């Protein structure tokens, strides 16, 4: 059952728990602005920068082309931070994701404490904060972590209403749905609604949904939060283009995706454990315990139901990517935290525990200790080896110190496991948080060394000042660092631009492109080209592909 208000001490997180959770979230904020852009981050910075430059906050654009594939809220927040701080930067663009990751961790811990008891809250929150994908996406400029935060927040409001309804909860729930819809799209509206509706059906009682008068009174607020940006855009542009984009991205894409359709339907069966790693080792035990206690434990029923609904919703969609299913992680972390606390509480009370549950709890710890030991050995010995292991070990700063710390954590965990299993688990969580912080500071720097856009843009500015053209180099990261220009796909378009609309041959155009397209420009009968600059960068031993760009001078014939 959900712990009632009559026993508040059993469901409230202590101040120390909040402080420890905040410490576990430090990797989200560490060195946020040091690493240059990667993946699709440039889209958010380019859109926000153009909003500030043009003053038009209702038509997202990159290089002058409409880019309305995501709702406006995530762009607005970055642009607003840029307006306050004198311009958009990598740090400001990633800050909203870090803050949303922090909020999601706190909300997950709060829900776990309410559903499973106060000791389960910090366990679930720390597991979420230190999972591989949450550390990665909590440090990435995108709308995905904001989507997770709104889904988690709306679900938390519903959980708060389960034992005592307050009118504000209806307004908060629907407002969060509306704002969440403007963060990434309809998943933030549909998923919390589906979880609340399914929970009400299964348990035949939901104070939030049963208070229909208050719910109806709050509907206009939710509709306003969701629809107001679309209405502003309609008044500004005279059309409903943003609504069409939303429909295309969030509805049509489910059954007829234009991309991200190459992964088969079982895709998330492997991706979810990878994203929750290393804590996914305890998922079998968590699901087994949930099945065992499903009838009598409302917390496991709720978390399992929410997990299943989110998993099914994204599996049914024909468009699948790993980060789409990030909203499932808070519920997975609650299941794992609830399992940990259930086993530990019985052990500490001296109750008999079947061997299968002992192994499902302690077995992953043994695996974790083994992995820590092997990692320590690899870091210590790898620097003396040839090939990839040695090269990577030599590139990592403080590798021997890290190896010693990992070995110490493995020894401490193994020593504590038999007599003090809770302390052993806390040691693992602390080790994971320290590893995440090290990765954020040192690991990201290693990855940054093979990203070339920022350095190449500086080299371009050193040899050329003026407008740039882009030939089939549709890369928002490059646009952000090198500056906006015109994007062309045919040599004739560059020729016409260089001639200034027919002013005559011999005029020049400076073009940024990729080496694979140089042949098209070199063999074109309408252009003469001269390669001026080619991007370089440190080759890494584990690297499979590195972006390379070329600056060429084109003359119209």
pLDDT in tens, 370-406: 999 999 998 888 777 776 667 777 778 888 899 999 9
Identify the pLDDT of residue 200.
86
The DSSP code sequence of 179-247 is: HHHTTT-THHHHHHHHHHHHHHHHHT--HHHH-HHHHHHHHHHHHHHHHHHHHHHHHHHSS-HHHHHHH
pLDDT on residue 252: 78
Residue at a domain's end among 448, 475, 508: 448
3-class secondary-structure state, position 61: strand
Question: Looking at the structure, do residues 360 and 469 belong to the same domain, yes or no?
Answer: no
Q: Is the dihedral of CA 469, 472, 477, 478 positive or negative?
A: negative
- For residue 513, being part of any structural domain is answered with yes
Residue pair 410/382 in contact by the 8 Å Cβ criterion = no
Considering the domain architecture, whether residues 88 and 135 belong to the same structural domain is answered as: yes
Tell me the average pLDDT across 147-151.
Answer: 98
In a domain, 174, yes or no: yes
> Does residue 476 share a domain with residue 398?
no
pLDDT at 253 over 80: no
CA pair distance 110, 90, nearest whole angstrom = 31
pTM greater than 0.85: yes
Chain centroid to CA 371? 26
In this model, does residue 468 exceed pLDDT 80?
yes
Query: Is residue 10 predicted with pLDDT exceeding 70?
Result: no
Within this chain, do residues 458 and 408 fall inside the same structural domain, yes or no? no
For 100, phi then psi, to 5°, come to -70, -35
276-335 pLDDT tens trace: 999 999 999 999 999 999 888 989 999 999 999 999 999 998 888 899 999 999 999 999
Distance of CA 66 to the CA centre of its chain: 24
What local confidence, expressed as pLDDT, does residue 244 receive?
84
Does the pLDDT of residue 138 top 90, yes or no? Answer: yes
Domain contains 2:
no
Nearest to 65 by CA among 414, 349, 488: 488
Cα 110 to Cα 93, 105, 119, 240, 477: the distances in Å are 27, 9, 11, 40, 37
User: Does residue 170 carry a pLDDT above 60?
Assistant: yes
| Domain co-membership, 112 together with 73 | yes
Contact 340, 360 (CB under 8 A): no
Answer yes or no: is pLDDT of 431 > 90: yes
- What does the alpha-carbon distance between residue 173 and residue 543 come to, in Å, rounded to a whole number? 45
User: What is residue 5's predicted lDDT score, i.e. its pLDDT?
Assistant: 41
Q: How confident is the model at residue 206 (pLDDT cuts 50, 70, 90)?
A: low
Is residue 304 within 8 A of residue 286, CB to CB? The reply is no
Element (H, E) at 470: strand 468-471
Lowest mean pLDDT among 150-159, 491-500, 501-510: 501-510
Q: Which pLDDT value is given to residue 389?
A: 67
My answer on whether 165 and 306 are in the same domain is yes
Residues 81 and 127 in one domain: yes
CB proximity list for 476: less than 8 A, separation 6 or greater: 37, 40, 41, 42, 43, 45, 46, 62
Q: Do the beta carbons of residue 333 and residue 108 sit within 8 Å?
A: yes
pLDDT higher than 70, residue 501: no
- Mean per-residue pLDDT, 201-210: 73
Verify that 368 and 509 share a domain, yes or no.
Answer: no
Structural domain including 481 reads 453-556
User: Between the CA of residue 500 and those of 65, 397, 495, 504, 556, what are the distances in Å?
Assistant: 21, 52, 9, 8, 10
Burial 384-411 (b: 16+ CB within 10 A, else e): eeeeebbbbbebbeebeebbebbbebbe
**160 pLDDT exceeds 70?**
yes
Mean pLDDT rounded to a whole number for the chain: 88
How much is the pLDDT for 261?
65
- Kindly indicate the confidence band of residue 503, based on its pLDDT and cuts at 50, 70 and 90: very low
What confidence score (pLDDT) does residue 450 get?
Answer: 76
CA angle, 375 as apex, 370 and 379 as ends, to 5°? 150
Residue 549 lies in a domain: yes
Is the CB of residue 39 less than 8 Å from the CB of residue 140? Answer: yes
Contact 339, 289 (CB under 8 A): yes
pLDDT at 173: 95
What pLDDT does 194 receive? 94
Structural domains in the chain (count): 3
Q: Does residue 278 have a cis peptide bond before it, meaning omega lies within 30 degrees of 0?
A: yes
Break the chain down into helix, strand, coil percent, rounded to 5: 65, 5, 30
- Tell which of 345, 380, 396 closes a domain: 345
Residue 150 lies in a domain: yes
- Residue 65 falls within a domain, yes or no? yes
For the chain, percent of residues with pLDDT exceeding 70: 92
Are 123 and 177 within one domain? yes
Residue 77 has pLDDT above 90, yes or no: yes
Examine the domain organization and report whether 334 and 481 are in the same domain: no
Which of the given ranges, 65-69, 300-304, 475-479, has the highest pLDDT on average?
300-304
DSSP H or E segment with residue 487: strand 485-488
SS3 state at 109: helix
In a domain, 56, yes or no: yes
pLDDT digits (tens, 9 = 90+) for 24-38: 999 999 989 888 998
Confidence of residue 502 (pLDDT cuts 50, 70, 90): very low
What's phi and psi for 59, nearest 5 deg? -130, 95
Give the angle 123-126-130 at the CA atoms, nearest 5°. Answer: 140
- 363 Cβ partners below 8 Å, 6+ apart? 281
Please tell me which residue, 67 or 73, carries the higher pLDDT value. Answer: 73
Q: How far apart are CA 161 and CA 542, in angstroms?
A: 50
- 513 beta partners: 550
* Least confident segment among 48-62, 138-152, 267-281, 381-395: 381-395
Domain boundary among 302, 317, 345: 345
Q: CA angle at residue 326 from 220 to 250, to 5 degrees?
A: 50
Are both 443 and 457 inside the same structural domain?
no
- Note whether residue 3 is domain-resident: no
Residue 473, CB-side half-sphere exposure with 13 Å CA sphere = 28
Whether residues 300 and 314 fall in one domain? yes
C-alpha–C-alpha distance, residues 494 and 466, integer Å: 16
Q: How confident is the model at residue 359 (pLDDT cuts 50, 70, 90)?
A: very high
């Amino acid at each position: 059952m959900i712990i009632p208000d009559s026993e508040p001490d059993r469901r409230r997180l202590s101040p120390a728990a909040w402080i420890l959770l905040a410490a576990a979230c430090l990797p989200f904020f560490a060195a946020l602005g040091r690493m240059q852009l990667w993946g699709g981050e440039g889209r958010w910075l380019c859109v926000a920068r153009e909003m500030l430059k043009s003053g038009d906050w209702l038509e997202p654009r990159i290089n002058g082309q409409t880019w309305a594939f995501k709702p406006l809220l995530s762009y607005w927040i970055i642009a607003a931070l840029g307006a306050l701080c004198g311009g958009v930067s990598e740090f400001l663009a990633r800050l909203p994701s870090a803050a949303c990751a922090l909020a999601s961790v706190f909300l997950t811990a709060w829900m776990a404490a309410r559903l499973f008891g106060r000791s389960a809250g910090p366990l679930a929150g720390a597991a979420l904060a230190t999972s591989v994908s949450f550390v990665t996406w909590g440090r990435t400029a995108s709308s995905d972590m904001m989507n997770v935060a709104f889904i988690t927040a709306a679900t938390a409001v519903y959980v708060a209403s389960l034992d005592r309804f307050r009118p504000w909860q209806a307004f908060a729930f629907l407002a969060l749905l509306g704002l969440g819809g403007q963060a990434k799209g309809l998943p933030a509206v549909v998923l919390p609604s589906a979880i609340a509706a399914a929970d009400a059906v299964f348990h035949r009682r939901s104070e939030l949904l049963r208070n229909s008068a208050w719910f109806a009174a709050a509907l206009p607020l939710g509709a306003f939060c969701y629809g107001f940006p679309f209405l502003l855009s309609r008044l500004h542009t005279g059309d409903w283009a943003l609504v069409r984009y939303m429909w295309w991205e969030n509805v049509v894409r489910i059954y007829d995706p234009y991309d991200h359709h190459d992964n088969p339907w079982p895709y998330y069966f492997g991706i979810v454990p990878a994203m929750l790693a290393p804590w996914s080792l305890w998922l079998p035990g968590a699901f087994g315990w949930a099945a065992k206690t499903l009838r009598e434990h409302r917390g496991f029923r709720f978390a399992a139901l929410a997990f299943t609904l989110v998993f099914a919703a994204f599996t049914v969609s024909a468009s699948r990517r790993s980060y789409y299913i990030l909203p499932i992680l808070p519920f997975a972390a609650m299941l794992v935290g609830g399992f940990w606390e259930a086993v530990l509480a019985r052990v500490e009370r001296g109750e008999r525990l079947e061997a299968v549950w002992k192994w499902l709890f302690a077995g992953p710890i043994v695996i974790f200790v083994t992995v820590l030991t092997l990692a320590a050995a690899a870091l210590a010995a790898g620097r003396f080896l040839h090939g990839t292991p040695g090269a990577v070990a030599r590139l990592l700063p403080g590798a021997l110190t890290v190896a010693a710390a990992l070995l110490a954590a493995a020894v401490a965990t193994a020593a504590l496991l038999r007599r003090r299993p809770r302390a052993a688990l806390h040691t693992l969580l602390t080790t994971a948080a320290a590893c995440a912080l090290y990765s954020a500071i040192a690991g990201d720097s290693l990855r940054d060394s093979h990203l070339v856009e920022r350095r190449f843009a500086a080299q371009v500015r050193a040899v050329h000042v003026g407008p740039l053209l882009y030939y089939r180099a549709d890369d928002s990261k490059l646009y952000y660092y090198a500056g906006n220009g015109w994007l062309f796909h045919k040599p004739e378009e560059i020729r016409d631009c260089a001639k200034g609309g027919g002013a005559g041959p011999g005029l020049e155009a400076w073009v940024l492109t990729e080496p694979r397209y140089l042949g098209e420009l070199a063999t074109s009968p309408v252009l003469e080209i001269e390669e001026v600059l080619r991007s370089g960068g440190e080759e890494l031993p584990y690297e499979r592909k590195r972006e390379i760009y070329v600056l060429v001078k084109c003359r119209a014939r």
